[in-house]
Amino acid sequence: MAGAGKRELTKYPGVYMRQSPDRKHDGKPDVCFDIAYNGPGRKVWEKVGWRSEGYTAAMASQIRAERVRTVRHGDLPSAILDKRRPELTIGGAWEAYQGHLAKTKRPGTDKSRWDLHLAHMGAQTIASLSPLELERLKESLAAKGLSPQTVKHCLALLRRVVNHAIAMRLWSGTNPVQKRVMPHVDNKRFRFLSVEEADLLLETLKARSLDTWRISLMSLYTGMRLGEVLGLRWEAVNMSARVAQVLDPKNGRSRTVSLTTSVVAMLLATGTERHGLVFAGRNGVRKEISDTFSRVVEELKFNKGVADRRGRVVFHTLRHTFASLLAMSGVPLYQLMDLMGHRSIDMTKRYASLCPAQGKEATEHIERLLSHEATAGHTS
């Protein structure tokens, strides 16, 4: 082991210490702690960390006990068992993360991002991920033509992989892929439909596909996300109360949405068998909107000449239109926050600029109040 002396056994079984000939801590030679345990077929040596990093022999003993339990159940990643990798590599951390991958929202997407954009870093150690190295990674990803949002997704995946390695005690230290290294991405859509455009879109969709029209109407009149609409079940719909429960939404906070007259009429017209998914596809579960929607949008030329993706009309534009029109009509932001199911008011503040009349009315009100106070004070 470079950088430290001979191993000496501590009072804890399988825990060793090595004094550094050059590193100092509190005026004394720094000490590195190692652990040894029986892996599958051979003895495994593993560096735990330095005393200057906060490690103690007792902590090393606890880590060793965890390793022994893990080996006993056959779950120790090969990144630990490979003697050629004394320091955990990014590839080793990814190997360990794959066992956790099935629990994530989009395992296939993460696997694809790793294979396409991060696998080339597999031989690098986590410790080598300096700020300069991460900047180079961002530049190389951008040079491949990836959007800032995709670059951010790749870095976020790398951060999750390292976080998992830390949580599993496969690596110690601070995650080098911090939030501050993430590229700033402004992906907020600013395009919303006018009342005339919304009417025209729904009318055209109804003539082409009743299914697509129903799903679009539901989103436009309730502000529900596509996933929320497609996941809506009849058990969560109360026709008499004219409400629906949005369960397990994107932000994890269920909410109640009101059903307008048009929505209730549309739901009533779907038939009498009201069980299971409201908008079930031919094979049951429906995961996406028909491309009829995009074809109609193109036919109506809503995206003609629009280069900025944030200004293009997509299905999510219906939800954005719902919020924008309500904000323009004077609905307070705190109420709009509940209607949209936002986790914080900061997410709703993007619609504040659409209700300038309220600000003008408020300032005129303070003008009346102050003028009255000033007049009253002068009179007295």
Give per-residue pLDDT as tens, 364-376. Answer: 656 666 765 544 5
The pLDDT score that the predictor gives to residue 379 is 44
The pLDDT score that the predictor gives to residue 184 is 58
The pLDDT score that the predictor gives to residue 258 is 92
Q: Tell which of 24, 42, 76 closes a domain.
A: 76
In eight-state DSSP terms, residue 168 is T
Q: Do 20 and 65 meet the contact criterion of CB atoms below 8 Å apart?
A: no
Average pLDDT over residues 301-309: 82
Q: Which residue has the higher pLDDT, 268 or 78?
A: 268
Biggest CA pair distance of the chain: 97
Instruction: Note whether residue 71 is domain-resident.
Output: yes
Instruction: Note whether residue 132 is domain-resident.
Output: yes
Give per-residue pLDDT as tens, 185-230. Answer: 555 666 888 899 999 999 999 999 999 999 999 999 999 999 899 9
**Cα 304 to Cα 306: distance, rounded to the nearest angstrom:** 6
Instruction: Note whether residue 367 is domain-resident.
Output: no
When pLDDT is cut at 50, 70 and 90, the band that residue 73 belongs to is low
The pLDDT score that the predictor gives to residue 335 is 87
Instruction: Note whether residue 377 is domain-resident.
Output: no
Instruction: Note whether residue 380 is domain-resident.
Output: no
Same domain assignment for residues 116 and 31: no
Residue 274: which CATH number? 1.10.443.10
Same domain assignment for residues 176 and 44: no
The pLDDT score that the predictor gives to residue 26 is 84
Q: What whole-number percentage of the chain has pLDDT above 90? A: 27
Same domain assignment for residues 121 and 253: no
Same domain assignment for residues 223 and 282: yes
Same domain assignment for residues 176 and 291: no
Cα Rg, the chain, nearest whole Å: 29
| Four-residue CA torsion sign, 70, 73, 76, 77 | negative
Q: What whole-number percentage of the chain has pLDDT above 70? A: 83
**Residues linked to residue 34 through DSSP beta bridges, in sequence order:** 16, 47
Evaluate if residue 80 carries a pLDDT over 70: no
Same domain assignment for residues 133 and 156: yes
Least confident span in 71-80, 231-240, 302-311: 71-80
Same domain assignment for residues 71 and 100: no
Order across the sheet with 8-9: list the strands: 8-9, 15-25, 28-39, 42-50
Same domain assignment for residues 97 and 225: no
Same domain assignment for residues 34 and 157: no
Boundaries of domain holding 117: 90-181
Same domain assignment for residues 23 and 50: yes
Q: Tell which of 20, 51, 76 closes a domain.
A: 76
Q: Report CA dihedral (197, 199, 205, 211) to the nearest 10 degrees.
A: 130
The pLDDT score that the predictor gives to residue 181 is 60
The pLDDT score that the predictor gives to residue 364 is 65
* Total count of domains within the chain: 3
Instruction: Note whether residue 370 is domain-resident.
Output: no
Same domain assignment for residues 211 and 336: yes
Average pLDDT over residues 326-342: 85
Average pLDDT over residues 153-182: 82
Q: Which residue has the higher pLDDT, 168 or 208?
A: 208
Same domain assignment for residues 211 and 310: yes
pTM of the entire predicted model: 0.53
**Cα 146 to Cα 109: distance, rounded to the nearest angstrom:** 15
**Residues linked to residue 233 through DSSP beta bridges, in sequence order:** 277
Residue 166: which CATH number? 1.10.150
Give per-residue pLDDT as tens, 50-63. Answer: 888 888 898 889 88
Q: Which residue has the higher pLDDT, 87 or 97?
A: 97
The pLDDT score that the predictor gives to residue 237 is 94
Average pLDDT over residues 83-111: 76
Mean pLDDT of the chain: 82
Instruction: Note whether residue 374 is domain-resident.
Output: no
Instruction: Note whether residue 375 is domain-resident.
Output: no
Least confident span in 140-144, 185-189, 351-355: 185-189
Q: Do 201 and 300 meet the contact criterion of CB atoms below 8 Å apart?
A: yes
Query: 333-340 and 316-328 helices cross at what angle (nearest 10)?
Result: 160
